[in-house]
Structure 1
Amino acid sequence: MGGLFVAIGDSFTEGVGDWDTRHPNGVRGWADRVAKQLSKVDPDTRYANLAIRSRRLAGVVEGQIEPALAMDPDLVSFYAGGNDLLEVRKDLGPVLATYTRAVERLATSGARVLLFTGFDIPLHPVLEPFKRRNWAFNDHVRSLARRYPESVTLVDYWTWDAYRDRRMWDIDKLHMNRAGHRYMAIQVLNILGVRHQLEFEPFGPSERVGPIQSVSRDVEWLRQWVLPMFGRRIRGITLGDELQPKWPEPILPADGLKKMYRTRRRLLAAD
């Protein structure tokens, strides 16, 4: 019988940036891709994804960990905390303490646990203060992975040079695009030692951008993404407030993720 893979977290795991209206919440993402490849190895593999964009660490811990463990998973992926790092006024100490308790709970559950560092994204100077918080968070993730070598596998995303290419990122510069999610799925499968059929085509030489065009792009990025993001935080709303998890109950990816989503939409429309 196949095992159960449960993915928990925020936009990174939900799949934001890998836009596809044929999938729940309009995104595909690396976790769906990993689940599909696991099902090619064993068609009995089951998969659930509880991640929702914009969730802070406390929300993931309180709303996703126990429901995930109640499914008795064999593999759990856990990535959360990135949204907390963006709140520069929030003390990092309690965030790391909450993350530690979450990892302790997962690592002692009997499941294999995937932890992720956060990538050291080349940031515009307006967001530069967040980099040091990201470095401290990553060091903490690595130390916890070392603490539980029998149950925790580290995906050290921070070290992968491929993501230094801006063509791996969505227009908001904070989320991986389709290429980035595909590459992540390949790396996760390789780390797990799972044979798969995914391939990544290297990019050609990047285009050269002049200083005037670069400034214009930065201004537009600030207008379209950065200012609205901080505006939502001030108002206490998030992009995930009206969303439900993509796959809240275990499914069989071998049956086809897009096919299952079409069936779900037909059933909802019939109601």
Structure 2
Amino acid sequence: MTRTPATPRVGEDVTSARLFVALGDSFTEGVGDPDARLPNGVRGWADRVAEKLAKAEPGWRYANLAVRSKRIREVVTDQLDAALRLHPTLITLYAGGNDVLDPGTEIRSILEDYERLVKALSETGATLLLFTGYDVPLYPVVWLFRRRNHAYNEGVRRIAQKYGATLVDYWTFDGYQDRRMWSADRLHLSKFGHKLLAARVLDVLAVRHSITPKQFDALESRSTSRWLADQGQWVHDWVVPLLHRKIRRVTLGDWTEPRWPHPVEVPPKGGLRRLMRERAEGTRE
């Protein structure tokens, strides 16, 4: 199935409003990339993409509806209608990672929900970007989920082709083999990981940018005792709290709001941090 977009494509010389709407979970919310000056205390790849779009073509507006921990069905319930009402010209969607990590959920069911979501978004005529999922290299048990992740990725590729979406094949990005691309929880991208992804998304959109991915020195080898200590610290800081939340059937997203629920015009100079500074100054006046 192919479609002819009813709205302007990224990079076209048009005078109509340009609106980028990001949907999904913690991956798109920006978890792992802390910035106290911005909503929810994070920044992330989507903010960076919005800023570079506005720098290349002033007038871009941006809304980010993504919330950490959300499953596909929650994206449908909480984000889809809100996104459709905004009439975006560019949409990014990453959803399904949390579903894949739920062993009790069948991949077929995940992809059925995912396809219904993509179909609805594709009918807006906006440029639609979809993402495969990465085989996170740092989780000791992640190999248990790789087969599920690969099946999910094949489904995403098929659905992207079927609905004329643009694929960001995140699974193929070798740079994420370095553990410094990941935050301390070993599941979310670090600041460096978010910057690299922003650069890759902008490349896919053929938008000129100045984001330079971090070039790391070689990692120092760790002794067995240091490695064991690191594992113990990780389990204490991240695994145990996660298990407690699962036992209580709560998620971090239960008390988290979208970062940019209403479209904001992104300043070409200074970006979203400048916008927040101007808002704060206006509040004090």
User: What is the TM-score of this pair, normalised by structure 1?
Assistant: 0.93
Query: Which segment drifts farther, 205-214 or 47-56?
Result: 205-214
Structure 1 residue 160 displacement after superposition = 0.7
2:48 equivalent in structure 1: 33
1:8 matches 2:31: no
CA deviation after TM superposition for structure 1 residue 262, in Å: 3.9
Deviation at 1:264, TM superposition (A): 4.8
Q: Report Cα offsets for 1:116-173 as digits up to 9, x if no partner.
A: 0111112444343222211111111011112123xx1000000011000001000111
One-letter amino acid of the structure 2 residue matched with residue 222 of structure 1: V
State the SS of the aligned residue for 2:226.
helix
Return 5+ residue gaps in structure 1 as ranges.
Answer: none
Paired position in structure 1 for 2:97? 82
2:5 corresponds to which residue?
none
How many residues in Structure 1 have an aligned counterpart in Structure 2?
268
Q: Residues of 2 paired with 1:129 and 1:269: CA distance?
A: 53
Give the distance between the partners of 1:212 and 1:264, measured in 2 at CA: 49
Distance 2:184 2:280 in 1: 29
Paired with 1:131 and 1:219, the residues of 2 have a C-alpha distance of: 24
Distance (Å, rounded) in 1 between the aligned partners of 2:133 and 2:162: 19
State the partner residue of 2:59.
44
8 Å CA contact 2:52, 2:209 repeated in 1: yes
Listed as ranges, the gaps of 5+ residues in structure 2 are: 1-14
Structure 1: which amino acid aligns with 2:193? G
Number of the residue aligned with 1:132? 147
Separation in structure 2 between the aligned mates of residue 179 and residue 137 of structure 1, nearest angstrom: 26
Report % sequence identity: 48
Aligned counterparts of 1:101 and 1:240: Cα–Cα separation in 2: 23
Match of 1:91 among 83, 101, 106: 106
RMSD: 1.8
Match of residue 263, structure 2, among 244, 250, 256: 250
- The 1:124–1:195 alpha-carbon spacing in structure 2 relative to 1, beyond 3 Å, is closer
Deviates more, 1:164-173 or 1:123-132: 123-132
Amino acid aligned to 2:120:
R
Q: In 2 relative to 1, CA 192–109 (structure 1 residues): closer, same or farther, beyond 3 Å?
A: same
1:165 corresponds to 2:178: yes
Distance 1:235 1:145 in 2: 36
Kept in 1: contact 2:267–2:275 (CA 8 A): no
Q: Would you say the 8 A contact 2:136–2:142 is kept in 1? A: no
CA positional deviation for 1:92: 2.5
| Aligned ranges 1:1-271 → 2 under 5 Å | 1=15, 2-149=17-164, 152-254=165-267, 256-264=271-279
Q: 1:259 to 1:142 in 2, by over 3 A?
A: same
Instruction: Give me the whole-angstrom Cα distance separating, in 2, the residues matched to 1:263 and 1:238.
Output: 33
CA distance in 2, matches of 1:189, 1:199: 12
Distance 1:269 1:86 in 2: 45
